[in-house]
Amino acid sequence: MVVGVKFSELGKSYNFLCDLDVKENDKVIVETERGLQLGLISEINVTTKNKDLKDVKSIATDKEYDTYLKNIDDAKEALEKCKNLIEKLKLDMNVIDASYSLDKKILLFNFYADERVDFRELVKELATIYHTRIELHQIGIRDKAKIVGGIGMCGRTLCCYNHLRNIDTVNINMVKNQNIALNPTKINGACGRLLCCFNYENEVYTECRKNLPKVKDIVDYKGKKGEVVSVDILKKKYTLKFEDEEYKEVEVK
């Protein structure tokens, strides 16, 4: 069968082949591109067309779980050391987090930077200290917000940090589709990019917009031509202004 495995509470679920007797939330050991990892079973009997999947190697023992917890503590120390080295080397980058593979053969750092960074000297110094393979992975600003977290303008924890597993593309057409003023302070999230929540209702707005005119369109209503001055998308209504300054609200069925 195919199971989903997560490596962090809010992380993405990855599919693996499994012939073991497992259930949700079981701790398992899997082989990944970044070495052995301990993860949690998040889904059972996943449907997927991808047949090129790695296997779940074993159910994690208590000893392996203790090693996993110790690696988390060691990675936190490595993160602070990396930050000090970045400052020393005067590199224009912001390291976000660090993690070890279960066997400690790989030490991975995620970092954010506006431009490409020559971090070869940093890797060299880190390898000298930790005697393992060092990987630095540059992430986008949305991924940074997902890792760091924060409070959105709605007063709640950021969706990407709280529950969004995958971050979908958001574009300016979604904002326009929902008749929202293009004010950067209102439409951008903590990451500085368009709010992810524009995705939530975009499909509903698109459906409600059907047969609705646009503002400034000229519409013929019962033999009189009027200009559309406002549109209420969700109520499927629009307001016409006629030449005699008369206004008329029209509902679209």
Q: Where are the domains of the chain?
A: 2-60, 66-139, 144-209, 218-251
| 192-204 tens-digit pLDDT | 889 988 998 899 9
Q: How far is CA 111 from the centre of its chain?
A: 15
Give the mean model confidence (pLDDT) for residues 96-122: 94
Pairing assessment for the beta strands 224-232 and 247-251 based on DSSP bridges: unpaired
User: Exposed (0-12), middle (13-18) or buried (19+): which is 10, by Cβ within 10 Å?
Assistant: middle
Give the mean model confidence (pLDDT) for residues 116-128: 95
CATH architecture of 66-139: 2-Layer Sandwich (3.30)
CA distance 104 to 67: 10
| Cα distances (Å, whole numbers) of residue 231 to 51, 70, 179, 205 | 49, 58, 9, 12
pTM attached to this predicted model: 0.69
Q: What is the pLDDT of residue 165?
A: 67
* Cα angle, residue 83 at apex, residues 77 and 85 outer, rounded to 5°: 105
CA distance 87 to 94: 10
| 1-20 tens-digit pLDDT | 899 999 887 677 889 999 89
Q: What is the pLDDT of residue 45?
A: 85
Give the mean model confidence (pLDDT) for residues 113-117: 89
Report the chain's mean pLDDT, rounded to a whole number: 90
| More confident site: 186 or 127 | 127
Give the mean model confidence (pLDDT) for residues 21-43: 91
